[in-house]
Chain A
Amino acid sequence: MARAYIFKRFERFWHWAQAALIIAMLLTGFEVHGSYRLFGWGRAAGLHTSVAWALIGLWLFAIFWHFTTGEWRQYLPTTDKLGAVLRYYLTGIFSDEPHPFRVTRLSKHNPAQRLAYLLVKVIINPLIWVSGLLYLYYNELGATGTVIASGLGLGAIALVHTAAAFLMLAFLIGHVYLATTGHTPLARVRAMITGWEQLADEPEPETRKIPAQGVST
């Protein structure tokens, strides 16, 4: 079976750090929201703020990395094979059909993943960050009078922030589950840890374009 080095070191670090931070944000965030009591409200709020800054920092690095490496293109949406991929997850996966998409270094994500991650990046994340920063700096906004002028109350800000958090939670659940749908349940998780993805026996033509040093057998 062929292996390909798909996920680079920074990418893996970014992914797992982001995973930990987002889980921490969800845990503390829903406590601040009042859904349960875990850390105690004050600690939850404090942690939520600190972790938010860590996540913002990580994101700045990640954005820089995506643009300097051109990796941002991985999230360009495509309809090519989208239907086939969706069909695979709906039916084919149960009859052991081969995955219609072949992972390559130039195209790490199948069209459904591309779409999902793009939605996270262009909808959920901006909603969370914008509403979160407004939430965090609500007092300063209030002092300038903008909040009153725009009719943007803390309740509205919190509503958007919470809605985005629910979307992120739903994404996280789906994402964690779909991570088990590799050719073995842990194959994709392993790839995300080591960077090496197991390729199917008959690689698609694109795979051959990968420089030799990136592929081993």
Chain B
Amino acid sequence: MNLVNAILVGLKEIWAHKFRSALTMLGIILGVSSLVAMSAMVQGMEKGLKEALVAIGGLQKIRVEAQPIPTDQRHLRDFATGVTLHDVRALLASAPEVDVVSPQMRLEPAPTLSANGKNYRTFMTAGVWPIEAELMEHTIAHGRLFSEVDNEQGRNVCVIGTTIRDELWGKPEETGEEVIPVGKSLNVNGVPFTIVGMFEHYESEQDHKERLLRIEEAARERALGPNGKSTRRNRGWGGGGRRGNFAFWVKNNTLYMPLNSMWMKLKSGQTNAPSEPRLSEMEIRIKDVDHMDLALTQIRNTLMVNHRGIEDFSFRTQEDWADQIQSSVRNARLSGGLIAGISLFVGGIGIMNIMLASISERIREIGIRKAVGAGGLDIFVQIIVESVTIAIVGGILGLGFSRAVVWLIGEVTPTDNAPIITVGAMLFAFGFSVVVGLVAGLFPAFKAARLNVIQSLRYD
């Protein structure tokens, strides 16, 4: 008996028991769709985390932060220099694995920014070299970045993130027009600075979509006029939207000014300011991620010499975070996959159950088929084909159903990261369902193939 015939016989058999087959398929449908949905959720989560990782500059970045002097070196504190521009120059000169070094001098506690009659305490105000913008993956959307000359001359210029604009001049999606404050004046702790540029708005793709939606909504509401009823209640402090991913939030809350401006206009005037400008941290980009260990050794050795052996600094790499992303994604994939896999397995047990019931109903038929010349293999193939056909049809329906499941999960528990259904996941789930059908059919098929002809012919 050829395979086409076997498949036709199998399909006929399934069609003859529509309701029973549909119930059996339901197990496979749910298994496949939950497998695809699980993978889509994890995929969405992974994408969100990776976007955040890229937003802060990727794996090649090492941050050197100033630290309090360790306890066993306290008696040497008079010799401690802190992280200074000397370190920057020394690293550029003597650590060959270092590509770019960007010093950063942060104003802490966070200063009050005031403009347009409003005040705002932003998350980060720092004096940096222009290279910092490149290192931190900042993009200027409006105006320009301050230049080396601005830095040399310590000019009162700054570049801001969109949240600062939102807080001082209003959000575009609420006011209806986008204020671009380039050229406007902004006071940092009372010292006037001119805004020369503004970064683009950083957000995950999901947030981007939602923001566009809010802009549309707001426009519709405004179109209704002041008498039109707003569908949204004012929540007092302009929150409402979700804060989104922390990495994006920090970037939007950044104010950069030239390093020299920070030192001369804001820091050196402070009481007990050290004579040498001290940095809060250095951002270092290394040439090759694969040489991370070598680079760390070079940086450490250089700094140790400069700091007279006093370890008043620490490293932070993104690798920890990347590892964390990997492991959390792996965990989610494993647990989700396991649960979905179990449900598919249960679907397989359903198939086996129904195939066993079906062959004990058809013992006489099998006897007749064998009497007219069907070999054990023919019967085996027939049962396997029926079982696999149920799995294939169930698998295809399950793939369609997975979209509904993803939508349902999204409705019930909205997440920051939109689930992504991948072709790979669909192929895997489908392939897995076929394998489940095959395995579930093996035992019933073997049993049917082994049936004794004479006894089956006499069976009623």
A binds B: no
- Measured CB to CB, the residues of A under 8 A from B are none
- Measured CB to CB, the residues of B under 8 A from A are none
